[in-house]
Structure 1
Amino acid sequence: MAIGSTIHTFTVQLADVDRGVYDDFTIRVARHPSETDAYMMTRILAYCLEYREGIEFGGGVSTTDEPAVLVKDLTGLITGWIEVGSPDAARMHSASKLAEYAAVYTHRDPAKVLASWEGKQIHRSEELVLRSFDPGFIDAAVGAIERRSDLSVSRTEGQLYVELNGTHLSSELHEHRIG
């Protein structure tokens, strides 16, 4: 945890019908002073939407050798590398070589993220998934964040439904591929 980080606690109810994952859990998020609210909210949603055994938050914006969210198997081997925002192509190239699965969740314009990767080498680029939300969705969610938050996340047929401290939001979960 970085010095000066603000701790946020989220009590989560997850119903991911598309993946058949249902669970209730609590996550503590250390928000680094340089981390924006939009980045943190995207990081939390990425964690929920990728939730599985071995998932954990990476070192965050203060470390460069880990993603925002990662998944490890029982031996400690990284099997899932989940970035947030707009990582560069070289980082995703390395991530795709290191982990069985790599994905990016962005609160930014996905066309600009894809354009920044165009013409650059990314290992197994055809398997890399870039996910984004409807415009304004993350900003609306940011407005409902508190230090202690109740969060309900439901995904069905590619549609995302979120209730955050009594605020109801929905968005399509857009998937973008390279090429």
Structure 2
Amino acid sequence: MALKSTVYKAELQIADIDRGYYQTHALTIARHPSETDERMMIRLLAFALHASESLGFGKGLSDTDEPDLWEKDLTDAIQLWIEVGQPDETRIRKACNRAGRVAIFPYGGHATQVWWSGVANKVERHRHLEVVAVDAASSTALAALAQRSMRLQVTIQDGEIWIGDDTRRVAIVLQPLKPAERQSVRP
């Protein structure tokens, strides 16, 4: 008998001062049986950092054809593809070929550095790829906030990120491994 996903509910109040984005999102998150609290919370972090009305969760671990999060336009074209963890070069290339922008959020401390040293030179040519590692202490503290029902506040200002609930607050440290090149805006 296959194990079913566990459903988590999150009310995410986002104040992204850097982007001028202020919104509350009521999210339903299906946590795959093999997914950890840490990974699920990194997905929430990725959502907060790229939040929009059209950003949504993919099927994630249960479907290899979908990312963890994605944003599609009205024609169903993928504008943004977000991966959490350490995808292989083939998956990164697939994402870069299908989406206008790709963001990867690896985590896990030393394992992230080992993974990145193995794929960095193979994916550097993808101009619209951004890779941002989540600090090990940050991801562990973030995992401690996980509950079946969550009310979280996210504040982003001057590149600093804070996530908390009613009793705890976590500073998130990100390490840019590969910034996406800025795309020119068409008039």
Report the Cα offset of residue 124 of structure 1: 4.4
Report the Cα offset of residue 29 of structure 1: 0.3
1:144 equivalent to 2:145? Answer yes
Specify the alignment match of 1:128 in structure 2. Answer: 129
Q: Hey, what's the Cα distance between the residues in 1 that align with 2:69 and 2:82?
A: 5
Is the 8 Å Cα contact of residues 60 and 66 (structure 1) preserved in structure 2?
Answer: yes
Q: Hey, what's the Cα distance between the residues in 1 that align with 2:97 and 2:125?
A: 8
Q: Hey, what's the Cα distance between the residues in 1 that align with 2:124 and 2:54?
A: 24
Deviations 1:2-46 (A, max 9, x none): 951111101111011122211011101010101111111101111
Specify the alignment match of 2:78 in structure 1. Answer: 78
Letter in 2 for 1:13: Q
Written as runs of structure 1 = structure 2, the 5 A alignment for 1:18-57 is 18-57=18-57
- Higher alpha-carbon deviation: 124-133 or 68-77: 124-133
1:177 equivalent to 2:174? Answer no
Is the 8 Å Cα contact of residues 141 and 164 (structure 1) preserved in structure 2?
Answer: no
Report the TM-score, using the length of structure 1 for normalisation.
Answer: 0.90
2:42 is paired with a residue whose SS is: helix
Q: Hey, what's the Cα distance between the residues in 2 that align with 1:118 and 1:107?
A: 15
Query: Residues 89 and 124 from structure 1, CA distance in 2 versus in 1: closer, same or farther, beyond 3 angstroms?
Result: same
Query: Residues 170 and 61 from structure 1, CA distance in 2 versus in 1: closer, same or farther, beyond 3 angstroms?
Result: same
Letter in 1 for 2:31: R
Report the Cα offset of residue 174 of structure 1: 2.4
- Higher alpha-carbon deviation: 99-108 or 127-136: 127-136
Percent of aligned pairs with the same residue? Answer: 34
Q: Hey, what's the Cα distance between the residues in 1 that align with 2:81 and 2:124?
A: 13
Q: Hey, what's the Cα distance between the residues in 1 that align with 2:18 and 2:121?
A: 32
Count of aligned pairs: 176
Give unpaired runs (5+ residues) of structure 1.
none
1:170 is paired with a residue whose SS is: strand
Which runs of structure 1 show a deviation greater than 3 angstroms over 4 or more consecutive aligned residues? none
Specify the alignment match of 2:169 in structure 1. Answer: 168
Report the TM-score, using the length of structure 2 for normalisation.
Answer: 0.87
Specify the alignment match of 2:184 in structure 1. Answer: none
Q: Hey, what's the Cα distance between the residues in 2 that align with 1:165 and 1:30?
A: 23
Query: Residues 100 and 153 from structure 1, CA distance in 2 versus in 1: closer, same or farther, beyond 3 angstroms?
Result: same
What's the RMSD between the two structures over aligned residues? 1.8
Query: Residues 35 and 171 from structure 1, CA distance in 2 versus in 1: closer, same or farther, beyond 3 angstroms?
Result: same
Is the 8 Å Cα contact of residues 108 and 135 (structure 2) preserved in structure 1?
Answer: no
